[in-house]
Chain A
Amino acid sequence: MSTNQSNIWKAGTIVPLAIFLLFILVPVWGHVTDHTFYVAYFARILIYAIAVVALNLALGFGGLVSLGHALFMGLGAYSVALPAFYGIDNGWIHLFICLFSCGVAGLITGAISLRTSGIGFIMITLAFAQMGYFLFVSLKQYGGDDGTSISNTSQFFGLDLGGVYQVYIVSLILLVLATWWTARLRVAPFGMVLRGARQNARRVRAVGFPANHYLLASYVLSAMLCGVAGLLLANLNAFASPSTLSWIISGDLVVMLVLGGIGTVFGPMLGALAFLGLEEILKMFTDHWLAVFGLVIVFIGLLGKAGIAGFLDSFSRRKAGAAQGGVKQAKGAKA
């Protein structure tokens, strides 16, 4: 217990917690200055962070390099858009459709994808996401390529998720819960088996755990959480379009996770914040920000470091010496 107490005061924990505190202040600041644009912008960051937490579960813990998580974001978005199209604004129905469709889609695509590994897995998840993309593109009655605007946003017992402040607060609560869950999962038996399976699935099987069942479970859970992010995003934008399912989004999620730190607790939040923050800053300087941004991603990949979370950890490790936490950190950095 005493080690836990001292761990709280590391840069790797303090900085993210401080950022969470600042997140609480954003709606207050937005309300005072009447800048709803920034509240919506930070809500987007929170929502993407939730999606990256979801991806972290499959990619960071299970080592499943999925390039198709946009599929679940899109399903989440359309589970608001399609009922809303028929005038159904009950948020619980939206949530049920979202969790059910993402769960089933995750189970089917996960079961097929897990028959392969390595390059095969990457390409198959990508192809499944494309399948969803083309499905929604060809559904002309719901706007097809152009997408559809959502006039009936999700209502939960009188709470309208369509409001910027409402969706911000709900997203922040969900992100905190998801982050806390990730922290618990790291040390829980389920998470331990997943992390073991990432490093050596064969040994995990030899110990007696059906590694593939655990990986499939993580993939389905990841899909469902990612779907919730999509549901929030659709409410924030009051709009759903096939571009939510575009594989560029899947790639963005992977970049955010790597940028923040794979397999870490705070990595998803840090990655989403850094990614979308950098995007906004670059947009101020040039219209062709993607050219610069692409090169930044290339350098992140070539450097192959442990992300921002790893950087913060190394900061405190240097100060405290590698004696105590060194081994544990090195393991995290290897991801």
Chain B
Amino acid sequence: MTTLVLSQLLNGVQYGVLLFLLAAGLTLVFGIMSFVNLTHGSLYMLGAYFGATAYNHTDSFLLAIVAAVGGCIIVGFILERTAVSRLYSRDHLDHVLVTFGLLLFFNEMAQIIWGTQPYFLPVPAWLDSTVNLFGITYPSYRFAIIVAGLLAAVGSYWLIHKTRLGMLIRAGSVNPQMIGALGINIKFLNALLFGVGAALAGLAGVMAGPILSVQSGMGEPVLITTLVVIVIGGIGSVSGAFYAALVVGIVDTLGRAFLPMLLREVMARDIANAAGPAIASMLIYVLMAVVLAIRPQGLFAGAKK
């Protein structure tokens, strides 16, 4: 039983770090540019497709990662220049409208280019084994995701708190006009930030590829879960997004694994069988509603402003 709980806990952490990769980029764009970006899920999907295509042509997982991240940076940059940057000064409704249209466009384009069948991205051979952690065996690939996600978390912390660029980003989130007046190219900064978000989304996509099936529309469910993460963590806070992503990943995974079982202990079997999965799939939304009812600004937003 303990090994089962432990391995599910690790699965939760693995899901959590994937969510963090998406949430980090999204929360920066939300918090700093005050931009509602529904295409973030599409970038995740494109990352998975770019990675899978590169892998099928080269058989190299590293090249797949490079293709996914590079491709998403290019797409993200084009998006920022052609559509997104025109909308920063508009209200949120226009953001929703444009990014919603783009999302439909990308989903359909993915179907045109790669077909409606799920695309296959295998686990690379050098990660296709198991590792021994605290006495339990765990797939190396999932463990690699955890490591890569934690590295990305440390990297983004370093970028935001220890570098000059991070200083500009933080300053830009407080007062973009003042930053512009001081001679910083705020447009370039915004485009760069959008690009970083796109790169992280692409990385998340290619890493999730071997676990999930790569198909059109794969971005939406994860986008909405990411939104939940950001709301719980506090909009604009990268460290908040990190903690919230882990909480959401673990709660969701453990809920789905154990809630039906626990309910069966306390109520009739057929009611538990019906209610268990229902409650488990709603668990993170309930969590979000509770957080909002108590702290509307999010759990970890206290440090900022």
Question: A residues touching B (Cβ–Cβ < 8 Å)?
Answer: 59, 65, 67, 112-113, 115-116, 118-120, 122-124, 126-128, 130-131, 134-135, 137-141, 247, 251, 254-255, 258, 262, 288, 290-291, 293-302, 304
Contact = CB atoms under 8 A, between A and B. Distances in A.
B292 A124 contact: yes
A126 B220 CA distance: 12
A217 B220 CA distance: 31
Size class of the contact patch on chain B = 35 or more
* Closest 3 pairs (CB-CB, A-B): A297-B101, A294-B105, A294-B104
Contacts of A258: 93, 97
A298 B83 contact: yes
B101 A298 contact: yes
Given A297-B104, A302-B83, A302-B86, A131 B293 contact: no
B34 interface: yes
Given A120-B292, A126-B227, A134-B278, 6 more contacts: A119-B34, A127-B228, A130-B285, A255-B101, A291-B112, A302-B86
Contact of A295 (B101, B227, B274): B101
Contacts of A295: 101, 105
B281 A294 contact: no
Given A112-B289, A302-B86, A124 B108 contact: no
Contacts of A122: 36, 92, 96
A115 B281 contact: no
Contact of A294 (B93, B101, B227, B282): B101
A11 B37 CA distance: 36
Contacts, number: 133
A10 to B, nearest CB: 26
B147 interface: no
B201 to A, nearest CB: 17
A247 B274 CA distance: 24
A contact face: mostly helix, strand, loop, or mixed = helix
A290 B104 contact: yes
A172 B30 CA distance: 41
A127 B285 contact: yes
Given A130-B224, A258-B97, A304-B90, A123 B231 contact: yes
B30 A288 contact: no
Contacts of B224: 126-127, 130, 247
Contacts of A124: 231, 288-289, 292
Contact of A251 (B96, B105, B106): B96
Contact of A65 (B93, B111, B278): B93
A247 B220 contact: yes
Contacts of B93: 59, 65, 254, 258, 262
Residue from B101, B227, B235, B288 having most chain A Cβ neighbours under 10 A: B101
Contacts of A288: 108, 111-112
Contacts of B104: 290-291, 293-294, 297
A188 B41 CA distance: 42
B29 to A, nearest CB: 10
Main secondary structure of the interface of B (DSSP, over half): helix
A112 to B, nearest CB: 5
Contacts of A296: 101
A120 B231 contact: yes
B235 A255 contact: no
30 contacts: A112-B293, A113-B292, A115-B292, A115-B293, A118-B34, A119-B34, A119-B235, A120-B231, A120-B292, A120-B296, A122-B36, A123-B228, A124-B288, A131-B289, A134-B278, A134-B282, A135-B278, A254-B96, A255-B100, A258-B97, A262-B93, A288-B111, A290-B107, A291-B105, A296-B101, A297-B101, A298-B102, A300-B101, A301-B97, A301-B98
Given A112-B289, A134-B281, A254-B96, A294 B102 contact: yes
B154 interface: no
A120 B27 CA distance: 12
A131 B287 CA distance: 11
A290 B100 CA distance: 12
A141 B87 CA distance: 45
Contacts of B286: 131
B235 A120 contact: yes
Given A116-B292, A288-B111, A304 B94 contact: yes
B199 interface: no
A118 B231 CA distance: 12
A9 B277 CA distance: 58
Interface in B9-29: none
In the complex, which of the residues B93, B220, B227, B274 has the most CB atoms of chain A within 10 Å of its own CB atom? B93
B69 interface: no
B109 interface: yes
A65 B92 contact: yes
Contacts of B34: 118-119
B230 interface: yes
A295 B97 CA distance: 11
Contacts of A116: 292, 296
Interface centre among A113, A128, A255, A301 (most CB of B within 10 A): A301
Interface in B70-106: 83, 86-87, 90, 92-94, 96-98, 100-106
A288 B115 CA distance: 11
Nearest to A141: B274
A65 B96 contact: yes
B109 A291 contact: yes
A247 B228 CA distance: 14
Contacts of B36: 119, 122
A262 to B, nearest CB: 8
Given A126-B224, A127-B231, A135 B282 contact: yes
